[in-house]
Structure 1
Amino acid sequence: MAGFLSHVENVNNAVNGFVWGLPMLILLVGCGILMTCLTKFFQISHFKHWIRNTVGGIFMDKHITAHTEKEDTQISQFQSLCTALAATIGTGNIAGVAAAIAAGGPGAIFWMWVVAFFGMMTNFSENVLGIYYRRRNEKNEWCGGAMYYLRDGLGGKAGFQQVGSILAVLFSVFCVLASFGIGNMGQINSIAVNMESAFSVPPLATGLVLMLLAGLVIVGGLKRIAAVTERLVPFMAIIYVIGALVVCFVNIGQVGNIFASIFKGAFGMRAVGGGIVGSGVAMAVQWGMKRGVFSNEAGLGSSVMVHSSSNVREPVIQGMWGIFEVFADTMIVCTITAFSILSSGLVDLETGAVISDQVSTALVAQAFSTVFGKLGSAFIAVAILFFAFSTVLGWSQYGSKGFEYLFGRKRVKFYQVIFVVFIVIGATMDLTLAWDLSDTFNGMMAIPNLIGVIALSGTVMKITRNYVERKLLGKDVKPMLSADDEIQKVHEKEIVTEAS
């Protein structure tokens, strides 16, 4: 058995080396660059517009936060964002940032920003395609995601029907497998370890309590998950950001040195950790890109499965929520985490070397402890609890959608029950290999998804141009709302009815 597991580990390491290696990271960023160019730098050229129509309109536009009727199966735009952020804002925003700095130096943060800048348009494109190709299932729920735009979008092109269908199945399989590891056991294990370390809570007790809480939410379906995450996500993000900002403000005098260290490390103006300059830059680039992608998941095709359930009609509107999702996750949460670490004296800002002997979440906890004392570790343990548990809720929906595509809506409850049971397993087992495998499956989701996004990049460009002409330039052109003629007609009638 040990020999078999060793063989599995070797094979997985080889596959993982490609999936999360430099070629794949270049492909992920390249896709973002392509979509940025095709949409004429939408994230910059229409910055005020997408801010106003996303977070800026939460308290002003009733359509953004409007809850649908109880018997309806769709969710509001804000709920879809919170559910997606629940899955993306996780341990990667704490442990991932610390790992990037430890391995790539402060310069890794610059490359994390670069990935996020272009990742905004990758996420935008996924959401646009998700809304445009989504369908209703037998329970009248919206179903969208990479599997649908691969099957109906790529598969709709001459000679690509079979290719699109195969890639859709592969994406769904990888999604389901990843949901049990990176979206469940890995997150729960992080919670259990931190709760035991900070509060001496036995892992089994943590697992049983979280299994009960998750079961009450997950088995209730998307509507219940969305209802919980729209309250949990803003709360956890605001509390964590406030705590991190306090650390930064206490060390406000270091801001100039932090920026200098980030840019010097990013471009090799000095060696990272005292090593060779060229090697330091390579590590900064690779770790910054890797942790950036891992944190915001742009290009993996995950969050689009929740965004597609929104009550929005305009694909570009939900695309703009995708831009904000990446912006909030990386540009705000990850950046503040990085600044709290770099301002706390735990990293030599001249050489980029980590002075502390702590790693991962412990490094962030130590940074908080420089200001909050012993409460710092407790604060991070609680933050990990909220962040990781919300990730479990979000990923349960991703896995459900992948499972539904493969086996049908009626069997989803079976998946949900198994998913909840695995929470206890995650809390009580050593999951090193399981985590590595799920990390690989998570990355493998990106391959079929990116093929779909790049193949349908022209469609994204046309839909975006159509929206800009109608909404921003005031031209009288027919809207592009859905690839399905019946859904297109229904949406057009609804728009006319609302206008009158």
Structure 2
Amino acid sequence: MADFLTTINGYIWSDSLVYLCLAAGVYFSVRTRFVQIRQVPEMVRLLLKGQKSASGVSSFQALAMSLSGRIGTGNIAGVATAIAFGGPGALFWMWVVAFLGASTSFVECTLGQVYKTRDPLTQEYRGGPAYYFSRAMAHTKAAPLFKVYAVIFAAVTVLACGVLLPSVQANSMTAAMNQAWGLSEWVIALGSVIVLAFVIIGGVKRIAAFASVVVPFMAVAYILISMVIVFANVGQIPEILTLVVRSALGLDSAFGAIVGSAVMWGVKRGVYSNEAGQGTGPHAAAAAEVSHPAKQGLVQAFAVYIDTLFICTATGFLILSTGAYRVFDGESADGAVLHEGGALPSDIAVGPAYAQTAVDTLWGGFGSTFIAVSLAFFCLTTIIAYYYMADTNLRFLVGKAAPKVVPVIRGTVGSNTTLVLQALILVSVATGALSTASEAWTLGDIGVGLMAWLNIIGILIVQQPAFKALRDFEKQKKEGKDPVFDPAPLGIRNATFWETYEPEGEREKATVSSS
């Protein structure tokens, strides 16, 4: 079975998917006139401003939910793996895919807002690729085809986020805790299941509240500690940058033979980490209460920067500046060692232990604990976000039958359907904690790859509403307005939520005047 899954993963993560991710990023960057550069000040402003409502979370909470899905084991174990099998140059290609992917994220997340809807049971906002695939082309002859495409994406997402991806997070968290404290895998598995069960049963509002508190704290703490260690080795920063760029471009003789691996692992782990184009970000984006879809598109584009340019870079510099890395030939830890920094003990496995060793070079004994705690927060919030995405797509698949199969019980949603999903994700966590790293990562890569193939191809077809929304947003901003979205004048059809939408402030005024 392991060999079969490895073969499947090889087909999914072929060079074609790597080139598709990069080409889509270039295309969307050009089409949006490099929105990821032009609108950075607006991204920051929108991040700090925003409202929530009974139906939607604030822009910041939506960002936190999105980051809770993006920031996980990919930011620590993923970066270590990329360096181990692709060399230091893999970090450069992670930067490239983040810069280009920010435009892809803008497009997909804006589409998520344009075609969002209200959950018929909870009245909370729901949306994502399955929703925009089924609605964007509903007025065309291709509507039946895209409805099937939406169903396929939703089913794949339930499988990926409910079964395949949680195991990776649980596995890395377990490895880090075992390295730090020697805890049994069974103890870690049981503790994780208990914590997750409490949060995911509470629904989207509890998920958003949990993420908005935990994610900023853990991200800032991790970056600060990493930067302290990097600055303790500040004299090596120019050398590190030179090493990263030279090895990425094949200019360093030690890594000349693995330039292709640097690109592959940089893009592979970059997409796994920041999720640009994967189709996960639009789910959180759709949950936000905003007056214009482009607002949340910009906020989510900035999330890619936070994930990769800040956190993954912190990990990369942490590992490289302390020499806590080892690069293997053949993209396997069984291959010959091409280069090593000199700080790793011979028995250290590829993964979070690289970062743990790096922190220990400055604070002996502190590194293992700090990385274990960081990964625990990162991974738990990521798994919670996976549950939300799987649940959203399950609701899409259930459709109008929701009132029958997902009854509202005492103000919360619960049924055999959702209970099965909750059980699946908890079993996946327990299984991942007890699996080998190779098995867990293979399953995770299959999930990410399948979603990325479907989503990127899909948004290349249904892209136009995102560009129209961006032009409309920028036009209203130039006129000094706080942009409010109206799809009709833009020729955007089937955006039914926005046809009757009133900004939060207008709704409050209407309520006061009527009373």
Q: CA deviation at 1:298?
A: 0.6
Structure 1 486/494 Cα, relative in aligned 2: closer, same or farther at 3 Å? farther
Alignment of 1:116-135 (within 5 A): 116-135=98-117
Distance 1:203 1:478 in 2: 51
1:280 match? 258
Number of aligned residues: 476
Listed as ranges, the gaps of 5+ residues in structure 2 are 328-336, 407-416, 511-515
1:323 match? 301
Alignment of 1:159-170 (within 5 A): 159-170=141-152
1:334 match? 312
Structure 1 439/267 Cα, relative in aligned 2: closer, same or farther at 3 Å? closer
Distance 1:172 1:93 in 2: 26
Q: 1:453 aligns with which of 455, 459, 477?
A: 459
2:241 match? 259
List per-residue Cα deviations over 1:2-51 (Å, max 9, x = no partner): xxx36xx32x3333223222211111121111111111111112222222
Report the TM-score when normalising by structure 2.
0.86
List per-residue Cα deviations over 1:245-285 (Å, max 9, x = no partner): 11101001111111111121122222244xxx3x3322222
Listed as ranges, the gaps of 5+ residues in structure 1 are none
* Matched-pair contact (CA < 8 Å) for 1:181–1:435: no
2:333 match? none
1:142 match? 125
* Matched-pair contact (CA < 8 Å) for 1:102–1:353: no
1:354 match? 340
Distance 2:430 2:424 in 1: 11
List per-residue Cα deviations over 1:144-169 (Å, max 9, x = no partner): 1000111111x325331122112111
Distance 1:402 1:198 in 2: 37
1:465 aligns with 2:471: yes
Distance 2:300 2:294 in 1: 10
2:29 match? 36
Q: CA deviation at 1:433?
A: 4.0
Distance 1:125 1:303 in 2: 11
* Matched-pair contact (CA < 8 Å) for 1:181–1:439: no
1:298 aligns with 2:298: no
Report the residue type matching 1:35 in the other structure.
F
Bigger mean CA offset, 366-375 vs 419-428: 419-428
Distance 1:440 1:422 in 2: 15
List per-residue Cα deviations over 1:99-144 (Å, max 9, x = no partner): 1112222222111111000100111111100010111121212121
* Matched-pair contact (CA < 8 Å) for 2:277–2:452: yes
Secondary structure of 2:133's partner? helix
Report the residue type matching 1:393 in the other structure.
I
Distance 1:199 1:294 in 2: 28
List per-residue Cα deviations over 1:415-464 (Å, max 9, x = no partner): 12432344333333457546523421321011221122111222211111
* Matched-pair contact (CA < 8 Å) for 1:181–1:438: no
* Matched-pair contact (CA < 8 Å) for 1:132–1:483: no
Secondary structure of 2:138's partner? coil
Distance 1:301 1:202 in 2: 35
Structure 1 415/44 Cα, relative in aligned 2: closer, same or farther at 3 Å? same
* Matched-pair contact (CA < 8 Å) for 1:258–1:342: yes
Secondary structure of 1:353's partner? strand
Structure 1 439/282 Cα, relative in aligned 2: closer, same or farther at 3 Å? closer
Q: 2:446 aligns with which of 440, 445, 448?
A: 440
1:114 match? 96
Q: CA RMSD in A?
A: 2.5
Q: CA deviation at 1:187?
A: 1.5
Identity %: 33
Secondary structure of 2:278's partner? coil
Distance 2:437 2:351 in 1: 17
Distance 2:434 2:127 in 1: 35
Structure 1 391/110 Cα, relative in aligned 2: closer, same or farther at 3 Å? same
Structure 1 483/77 Cα, relative in aligned 2: closer, same or farther at 3 Å? farther
* Matched-pair contact (CA < 8 Å) for 1:219–1:413: no
Distance 1:133 1:322 in 2: 16
Report the residue type matching 1:224 in the other structure.
R
Q: 2:380 aligns with which of 389, 404, 409?
A: 389
Secondary structure of 1:211's partner? helix
Q: CA deviation at 1:337?
A: 0.7
2:214 match? 232
Distance 1:431 1:95 in 2: 10
Alignment of 1:81-96 (within 5 A): 81-96=63-78
Q: 2:357 aligns with which of 363, 366, 391?
A: 366
* Matched-pair contact (CA < 8 Å) for 2:63–2:299: yes
Distance 1:476 1:232 in 2: 30
Report the residue type matching 1:300 in the other structure.
Q
* Matched-pair contact (CA < 8 Å) for 2:432–2:440: no
* Matched-pair contact (CA < 8 Å) for 1:271–1:280: no
Q: 2:424 aligns with which of 418, 421, 443?
A: 418
Report the residue type matching 2:134 in the other structure.
R
Q: CA deviation at 1:487?
A: 2.9
Distance 1:199 1:37 in 2: 49
* Matched-pair contact (CA < 8 Å) for 1:18–1:24: no
Structure 1 310/265 Cα, relative in aligned 2: closer, same or farther at 3 Å? same
Structure 1 476/84 Cα, relative in aligned 2: closer, same or farther at 3 Å? closer
Structure 1 67/181 Cα, relative in aligned 2: closer, same or farther at 3 Å? same
1:51 match? 44
